[in-house]
Structure 1
Amino acid sequence: MILHISLTTVYCLDQEATRDFYVEHLGFEPATDVVMGDFRWVTIRHPGQPLLEVTLMLPGPPLSPEAAAFVRGQLESGQMGGLGLTVDDCRKTYDDLSSKGVTFVQEPAERPYGVEAVMRDNTGNWLSLIEPRAFTPSDFG
C-alpha cells in the first residue's frame, strides 16, 4: 500500500545555488547531499513536510542527451514548471520575497481557488504561491 509521496524532482543548473536559494529565501532545509560515482544527489525539504524531499537534479542521465539538452533549454529560457507552495498570506509572502530580490512573473491575484502569485527560482522554474480557499467546479464558469 502506498502511504504518501516521499520524493519529487526539480531540475536546476547548479545544485548548490538552487539549494541555497530554497533554503535562504523560501525556508526549506538541506536534507541529503551525497556523491555516488558521477552522480550527486542533493535534496531539500520543508520543515512543515519533513517526509517529502525535493531532489535538485541536473539535466543529465538517466535522460538521453537530447532530453537533457531540452530540459537545459527550458530552464535557461524560464519555461519549466516547479512546485506549488501553500502560503497563509499570499500578498504578505509576495512582499517579503520581493524585498529579498525574488523575481515574480505574476503579482498576487484572486483566483477561484484562492490568491496566487507566480515566482521564479534562481534557475527559472516557475513556482506558484497559493493562499487556498474552498471552491467548487462552478467557481470556474
Structure 2
Amino acid sequence: MLKIATTQVWVNDQEEALAFYTDKLGMEVRADVTMPEMGDFRWLTVSPAGQEDVAIVLMAVPGPPVFDADTAQAIRDLTAKGAASAIFLTTDDVYAEAEGLKARGVELVDEPQERPYGIDCSFRDPSGNHFRLTQLTEF
C-alpha cells in the first residue's frame, strides 16, 4: 500500500521558512541535516505537531548543477506568485485557527468563508507558497 510520506515546498531562505513554519504555524522539526559531502545540502523537514507520518521539506532552490540560473529564478518567480505549490491543511475550527494564525502574525489572503465543501481561508508563507486551511463538511 502506498502512502504519502513527504512533500516539499520551495523556499528562498531555510532559516526564515523554519521560523515561519515553527513559530507562526506551530509545526515541529522532523529532520534538520546538513550533508557536507553534498555541498552542504540541507534536508529540513517539518510537520504539524502530532502528525509524525507526513513531513514537508523546506527545500532551498538549488543552483547548478541541479538547475541552471534561469530555471532556479523561474522557480523562485513562480513560488513568489503562489503558483509552484499548494498545501491544504485541515482543522476542526477554521475560525479559531485563523484567529490564532493572525495573532501570531500570519496574514490571511482571504478570511474564512463557507463553501460547498466546508469552510476555508488561505495564507502564504514568506516565499509565496499558498496554503488553504479547511474545515471540511461531512458528506
Regarding TM over 0.5, the answer is yes
Structure 2 segments unaligned to the other structure (5+ residues) = none
Residue aligning to 2:129? 125
TM-score, normalised by the number of residues in structure 2: 0.86
Q: Give the alignment's Cα RMSD to 1 decimal.
A: 1.7
Q: Secondary structure at the match of 2:126?
A: coil
Provide the C-alpha distance between the structure 1 equivalents of 2:15 and 2:86, rounded to a whole number of angstroms. 17
Residue aligning to 1:139? none
Q: CA deviation at 1:68?
A: 1.6
Q: CA deviation at 1:32?
A: 1.1
Q: How many residues align?
A: 134
State the percentage of identical aligned residues.
35
Does structure 2 conserve the Cα–Cα contact (< 8 Å) formed by 1:60 and 1:68? Answer: yes
Provide the C-alpha distance between the structure 2 equivalents of 1:16 and 1:29, rounded to a whole number of angstroms. 14
Q: CA deviation at 1:58?
A: 1.2
Provide the C-alpha distance between the structure 2 equivalents of 1:50 and 1:82, rounded to a whole number of angstroms. 20
Does structure 1 conserve the Cα–Cα contact (< 8 Å) formed by 2:32 and 2:44? Answer: yes
Deviations 1:5-33 (A, max 9, x none): 11100111111111111111112101111
Q: CA deviation at 1:84?
A: 0.5
Deviations 1:69-92 (A, max 9, x none): 111112334444331100111111
Q: What pairs up with 1:21-100 in 2 under 5 angstroms?
A: 21-36=20-35, 37-38=38-39, 39-60=41-62, 62-100=66-104
Q: Secondary structure at the match of 1:29?
A: strand
Residue aligning to 1:138? none
Provide the C-alpha distance between the structure 1 equivalents of 2:68 and 2:118, rounded to a whole number of angstroms. 39
Q: Secondary structure at the match of 2:54?
A: strand
Q: Tell me which amino acid in the other structure corresponds to 1:48.
A: G
TM-score, normalised by the number of residues in structure 1: 0.85
Does structure 2 conserve the Cα–Cα contact (< 8 Å) formed by 1:75 and 1:123? Answer: yes
Structure 1 segments unaligned to the other structure (5+ residues) = 136-141
Q: Tell me which amino acid in the other structure corresponds to 1:8.
A: T
Deviations 1:49-79 (A, max 9, x none): 2011111011125344333211111233444
Does structure 2 conserve the Cα–Cα contact (< 8 Å) formed by 1:7 and 1:54? Answer: yes
